Amino acid sequence: MTDKPISRYPVPALPELPEDIRGRILAVQEKSGFVPNVFLVLAHRPDEFRAFFAYHDALMEKESGLTKAEREMIVVATSGANQCQYCVVAHGAILRIRAKNPLLADQVAVNYRKADLAPRQVAMLDFAMKVSQQAQAVGGADFDTLRGHGFSDEDIWDIAAVAAFFALSNRMANFTAMRPNDEFYTLGRQPR
Amino acid sequence: MTDKPISRYPVPALPELPEDIRGRILAVQEKSGFVPNVFLVLAHRPDEFRAFFAYHDALMEKESGLTKAEREMIVVATSGANQCQYCVVAHGAILRIRAKNPLLADQVAVNYRKADLAPRQVAMLDFAMKVSQQAQAVGGADFDTLRGHGFSDEDIWDIAAVAAFFALSNRMANFTAMRPNDEFYTLGRQPR
Amino acid sequence: MTDKPISRYPVPALPELPEDIRGRILAVQEKSGFVPNVFLVLAHRPDEFRAFFAYHDALMEKESGLTKAEREMIVVATSGANQCQYCVVAHGAILRIRAKNPLLADQVAVNYRKADLAPRQVAMLDFAMKVSQQAQAVGGADFDTLRGHGFSDEDIWDIAAVAAFFALSNRMANFTAMRPNDEFYTLGRQPR
Amino acid sequence: MTDKPISRYPVPALPELPEDIRGRILAVQEKSGFVPNVFLVLAHRPDEFRAFFAYHDALMEKESGLTKAEREMIVVATSGANQCQYCVVAHGAILRIRAKNPLLADQVAVNYRKADLAPRQVAMLDFAMKVSQQAQAVGGADFDTLRGHGFSDEDIWDIAAVAAFFALSNRMANFTAMRPNDEFYTLGRQPR
Amino acid sequence: MTDKPISRYPVPALPELPEDIRGRILAVQEKSGFVPNVFLVLAHRPDEFRAFFAYHDALMEKESGLTKAEREMIVVATSGANQCQYCVVAHGAILRIRAKNPLLADQVAVNYRKADLAPRQVAMLDFAMKVSQQAQAVGGADFDTLRGHGFSDEDIWDIAAVAAFFALSNRMANFTAMRPNDEFYTLGRQPR
Amino acid sequence: MTDKPISRYPVPALPELPEDIRGRILAVQEKSGFVPNVFLVLAHRPDEFRAFFAYHDALMEKESGLTKAEREMIVVATSGANQCQYCVVAHGAILRIRAKNPLLADQVAVNYRKADLAPRQVAMLDFAMKVSQQAQAVGGADFDTLRGHGFSDEDIWDIAAVAAFFALSNRMANFTAMRPNDEFYTLGRQPR
């Protein structure tokens, strides 16, 4: 545990928070054993908090042609490109757990082209990176490439939407200087 | 009116939509006289639609130290940098109306440094562009500059959050090839 | 009308100007109903004025395999990439008029890949952008692509030369802080 | 001498050329002992040739607060940044001759910050490079810096206009694959 | 342990290697408990191997005004910018051990500006990143800044030389697709 | 000859130097007629000097599928991209001599795509530039392209290793402000 600030902004105490937000935070704490700092930092603005997590859940928790691990790969790769410490460290931990692979997250964060991935997953990340870094150049040929790897158009929306949502998330984390919890660094590092 | 497609994805007919989404769309149609295509394009995914507009309203409709016109300046400047046709055209129209200025939106879209703005507003856009294009480099000195122009820390959050939200929005619009409604091009172009 | 300065440099009064330059300015005023500011700003340097407009006319007024509207597309797309407010606003108006299309200029200025253009015109703008932004990488394969779209080698020179001339023009406009006339913003916005 | 092509386009024979252009070419040949290829390559388009050299002379031959050598420094530094082989080699030779310095051109072409220049000349080139590479960001502070080095506003126009004109020239040379004459490589390399 | 290839090139077996190289490899194995793959991959070229490690040791093992942990910070930050998986993972482990800090390496790899560092160390990394990413712009002002943080000129050479050596190392690792040993991922992750 | 400093750091006098380094310097002086400044500048750090030149010789002096002139092409092209004055000027001279071509070095330094090279050599430099400027993106397709031009895998290592070594060398030269000897500028400029 560290006593370093987790945000440039005031972090509300749990009792000050609206009921629904406090409930959500207590639920995640019960499930994870700690409260990821993103919940505390964004609680500074309750309406934005609610929209942020509703969007997050709509993309990351739903049924999809992409596995949950694949969605986390998109988060980690694009957050690495955006130099977002919170998202790389926190979602790196989630990726290790969801992929049951202690190595993959660090590989993807630094250079996904050299990671232990299937060609289909590399194509997925090529596209996610294009949406993240130069969405203005996305065109029909990108869709054709992904369809050639077996992705449906709904899968393609999922890839793009996760990359787009974390374009928002990375900017909020970098702007607030959001600090990753110490717990994330070691989660999921033991081989299974 | 044009019959060009407004999205790479299917656009649901109003009767197919969930009640709350249909209601929202009918309300905007009544107020504006037409339905901005962003509502129809994003309605393809109801849960993401709800989160998107909840986030949008939490930032753009609330009370703020920034005027509504100033928030639209941030949208137009950062969307120009991201080459997002839908957002520049649609929010350019809103900026003309909110600023009661028929020239400002085109100026800001192309090069905000040369637009008819107060120095405080240029500083606001300098920071918004940094959040939009290289949030990883935001630091304490940026906050000091903005405070020197009279912005509170809550105003600074508003600037950053609008830039971050449209980082998401621009990517969704570019990825779906979202088409601006013809109506937006001429709205607010008459001097008052 | 605005009383904002139109240049960082002194703007000569018509009577002070050499006969030929005054004549040219009066002619454009008679034809257009106003004097585009580029004539007044560049008149600060008569010899450069003469060469500039001789070059302009040699490219933009001559017979060509490119329509006049197509040449304006090149101006608007490359000026958008160079963030040149004067050229985007002034030539956007000319493009609307020459293409008899009130929407096209704003589309091309922001992201020509998503504009209402024929594939041949997109290929033309891909090449114009390459000349504008990274001419050092132009090679034989670019010529082959354009020939495949039916462009002759003389057409290709026209595309490149317009992009190259506005590389100059954009820099002069940005450096002098050349202000677009208010009239340009609304010209050609009514559908025909 | 080499028999490599000097342009992707046909090069007219002298007798085919309009009188004034042939005259200009014969004059430069008499003065220099050879015809620089830029004259032959651009003669493919007589009207553009006339405008190009009128513009060139208006900037490079006139009286100015900048010496002729200083104007060539601007050409060489910005042409190096644009990877324009013709302009670096040809104007490198002219710079060696005008500055009576056999080393300076190669230094400036590669990295002007490390060249044997006065601080005033480095400031001149800092600004020329900004006009050449990101003119959209030029602002009042740049003018203040240059005035602090003793440049008048007319000198500043000269710096910017030379950088802007060679933005055009570099693109024409790169696009036509204009080949530097062998003679340029060795001109002015003997110390005086 | 994984059986994934550790290089695009053949990896020599220990008995095939020259005596001195085999000796070095056996020594590192005895000390570390495993052979870092960089030794095996580079052993494909014995002369380059010898020069590489002589250079490495001259910089990383010698007495310096920089601690060994500080030198590893430079490696990790610049290797992150160069997207070098091997160097980030392997030297991340060494940084955790040398700094006795299980969090620092991941922080520095993603965004050193937000890492748990002293201002002096941030200045050190600002300069290392400039040498790594745009050494052509290094100038006297950079030396002044570092001296203001208490670095001697010899310390500054050390910072630059480590950044320069890993510019080489990162390119060799990326080009050979050098794979980090699994052991590195978990080394030094337990708090002390 | 000039009396400008050749390094930001002290340059040792020959008698102060360790025997082996002094011997190497005297040998090069005897062979070339002067001492290239890189020897004097790097002698400030004897251990790094030894490793640097051992590495240099292992790549540049050995037998290879690349001619010595081809290896110098790689040095000149990548050093141009890195704006390294010392390496472009010094290795430009060596390239002129080794290729027996007085024009090639200046062509390659500015824009190798327009130089008098065989297609195989252009492919070699395309790859060298990728290793130099974005090694993280090197992949199997790059190897296939080079094999298609007849390069063996050992040749490819040579290309990459020369580009990587001069990534180090360019940064050391730019950081120390290493000055090219006046002699290099004119060496090899006479046609043979």
Tell me the pLDDT of chain E (192 aa) as tens digits.
Answer: 457 999 999 999 999 999 999 999 999 999 999 999 999 999 999 999 999 999 999 999 999 999 999 999 999 999 999 999 999 999 999 999 999 999 999 999 999 999 999 999 999 999 999 999 999 999 999 999 999 999 999 999 999 999 999 999 999 999 999 999 999 999 999 875
Q: Each residue of E11-50: pLDDT tens digit?
A: 999 999 999 999 999 999 999 999 999 999 999 999 999 9
**CA pair distance D14, D1, nearest whole angstrom:** 19
- Distance between CA atoms of residues A96 and A191, nearest Å: 10
What does D56-74 look like in DSSP terms, one character per residue?
A: HHHHHTS--SS-HHHHHHH
Helix axes D153-176, C153-176, angle to 10 degrees: 160
Q: Is F51 exposed, middle or buried (0-12, 13-18, 19+ CB in 10 A)?
A: buried
Residues of chain C with pLDDT under 70: 1-2, 192
**pLDDT attached to residue C2:** 57
Nearest CA distance, F125 vs chain C (angstrom)? 13
Nearest C-alpha neighbor of D161 from the set D60, D81, D90: D60
Q: What is the pLDDT of residue D190?
A: 84
Segment B124-133 mean pLDDT: 98
Contacts of C139 in chain F (CB under 8 A): 113
* E18-26 contact pairs (CB < 8 A, 24+): E18/E46, E20/E50, E21/E46, E21/E49, E21/E50, E24/E53
Q: Model confidence over B162-172: pLDDT tens digits?
A: 999 999 999 99
For residue F16, the one-letter residue type is: E
Checking if the pLDDT of F10 tops 80, the result is: yes
For residue F192, is pLDDT > 80? no
**Pick from D47, D135, D153: CB nearest C170:** D135
Per-residue pLDDT, F3: 77
Which chain F residue has the Cα nearest residue D7? F114
| Candidates E63, E129, E136, E144, partner chain F, best to mutate (most F CBs within 10 A) | E136
For A111, which of E85, E107, E116 is closest by C-beta distance? Answer: E85
Longest dimension (CA), chain C: 52
**Pick from D169, D170, D188, D5: which is nearest to D98 by CA?**
D188
Q: Which two tokens stand for residue A115?
A: 């990671």
User: Contact A131/A163 with Cβ under 8 angstroms?
Assistant: yes
Centre a 10 Å sphere on the Cβ of residue B71 and count the other Cβ atoms it contains: 26
Residue D2 has pLDDT above 90, yes or no: no
Strands (E) in chain B, as ranges, are none
Residue B159 burial (C-beta neighbours within 10 Å; 0-12, 13-18, 19+): buried
State what percent of residues in chain A have pLDDT above 70. Answer: 98
| DSSP H or E segment with residue E123 | helix E119-134
Residue F1 pLDDT > 50: no
D119 touches chain B (CB under 8 A): no
Q: Does D111 touch chain E (CB under 8 A)?
A: yes
Residues D46, D138 contacting (CB under 8 angstroms)? no
**Residue from C82, C81, C89 nearest C38 by CA:** C89
| Closest chain C residue to the Cα of F126, Cα to Cα | C137
Q: Can you tell me the distance from the alpha carbon of B99 to that of B70, in angstroms, rounded to the nearest whole number?
A: 8
Average pLDDT over every residue of B32-40:
97
Q: List C-alpha distances in Å: C16 to C43, C52, C108, E108.
A: 10, 20, 38, 63
CA distance B169 to E105: 33
Of residues B21, B36, B65, the one with CA closest to residue B161? B65
The pLDDT tens digits of the residues spanning F16-37 come to 999 999 999 999 999 999 999 9
Could A160 and B167 be called an inter-chain contact, meaning their C-beta atoms sit closer than 8 Å?
Answer: no
ipTM of the complex: 0.97
Mean pLDDT of chain D: 96
- Residues of chain A found within 8 Å of residue C111, distances taken between Cβ atoms: 136
Q: Which two tokens stand for residue B148?
A: 């020197």
What pLDDT is stored for residue E121 in this prediction?
A: 98
Model confidence at B192: pLDDT above 80:
no
Residue C128: exposure state from Cβ atoms within 10 A (0-12, 13-18, ≥19) = buried
Return the pLDDT at D192: 58
User: What does the pLDDT read at residue A184?
Assistant: 98
From F135, which residue of chain A is nearest by alpha-carbon distance?
Answer: A111
Give pTM, 2 decimals.
0.97
Q: Report the pLDDT averaged over residues D137-157.
A: 98
Q: How far is CA E139 from CA A110, D119, F176, in A?
A: 30, 13, 9
Q: Which chains border E (3 or more CB–CB pairs < 8 Å)?
A: A, B, D, F
**Residue F149: per-residue pLDDT:** 98
pLDDT tens digits along F87-97 = 999 999 999 99
The stretch D157-184 carries a mean pLDDT of: 98
Half-sphere exposure of C92 (CA within 13 A, CB side): 32
Q: What is the pLDDT of residue D3?
A: 77
Chains A and B make contact, 3+ CB pairs within 8 Å: yes
Tens-digit pLDDT profile for residues F40-51? 999 999 999 999
- Helix, strand and coil content of chain F, in percent to the nearest 5, comes to 70, 0, 30
Given a cut of 90, is residue B53 above it in pLDDT? yes
Give residue C192's pLDDT: 57
* Interface residue C1 vs chain F (CB under 8 A): no
Tens-place pLDDT, residues D48-98: 999 999 999 999 999 999 999 999 999 999 999 999 999 999 999 999 999
Say what the pLDDT of residue C35 is. 98
- Of residues C123, C143, F123, the one with CA closest to residue D8: C143
Range C168-188 burial, b when 16+ CB lie within 10 A, else e = bbbbbbbbbbbbbbebbbbbb
Handedness of CA C124, D168, B133, B69 (dihedral sign): negative
For B83-99, the pLDDT digits (tens) are: 999 999 999 999 999 99
- Type of residue found at C96: R
CB count, 10 Å around CB of E129?
18
Angstrom CA distances, E96 to C67, D191, E80, E89, E129, stand at 64, 57, 15, 11, 20
- Convert A35-73 to b/e letters by CB count within 10 Å (16 or more is b): bbbbbbbbbbbeebbbbbbbbbebbbeeebebebbbbbb
Q: What pLDDT does B106 receive?
A: 98
Q: By the 8 A CB rule, do D36 and D28 touch?
A: yes
Q: Do C143 and D82 touch (CB under 8 A)?
A: no
Q: Render pLDDT for F56-84 as a digit per residue (tens, 0 to 9).
A: 999 999 999 999 999 999 999 999 999 99
- Residue F190 is predicted with a pLDDT of 84
Q: Are D60 and C50 in contact (CB under 8 A)?
A: no
CB C106 within 8 A of CB F82: no
CA gyration radius for chain D? 17
C60-104 pLDDT, tens digit each: 999 999 999 999 999 999 999 999 999 999 999 999 999 999 999
Q: Is C174 on the interface with B (CB under 8 A)?
A: yes
**Closest to E185 (Cβ–Cβ): which among A2, A84, A103?**
A103
What does the DSSP 8-state code read for residue C88? H
Q: Would an 8 Å CB–CB cutoff place B27 in contact with chain A?
A: no
Contact B139 E113 (CB under 8 A): yes
Can you tell me the mean pLDDT for D127-150? Answer: 98
Neighbours of A, requiring at least 3 CB pairs below 8 Å, are: B, C, E, F
Looking at beta carbons, which residues of chain E come within 8 Å of B137?
113
pLDDT at A1 (0 to 100): 47
Looking at residue A27, its pLDDT comes to 97
Residue ranges in chain A modelled with pLDDT below 50: 1
SS3 B129: helix
Residue F13: pLDDT over 70:
yes
Rounded CA-CA distance C88/B84 in Å is 16
List of chain D residues whose C-beta atoms are within 8 Å of the C-beta of residue F109: 109-110
Q: E145 is written with which tokens?
A: 């800044």
Q: Find the helix packing angle between E153-176 and E68-81, rounded to 10°.
A: 50
CA–CA gap between residue A14 and residue A40 (Å, rounded): 9
**How many residues in chain C?**
192
Distance of alpha carbon E15 from alpha carbon E18, whole angstroms: 8
pLDDT tens digits, E74-90? 999 999 999 999 999 99
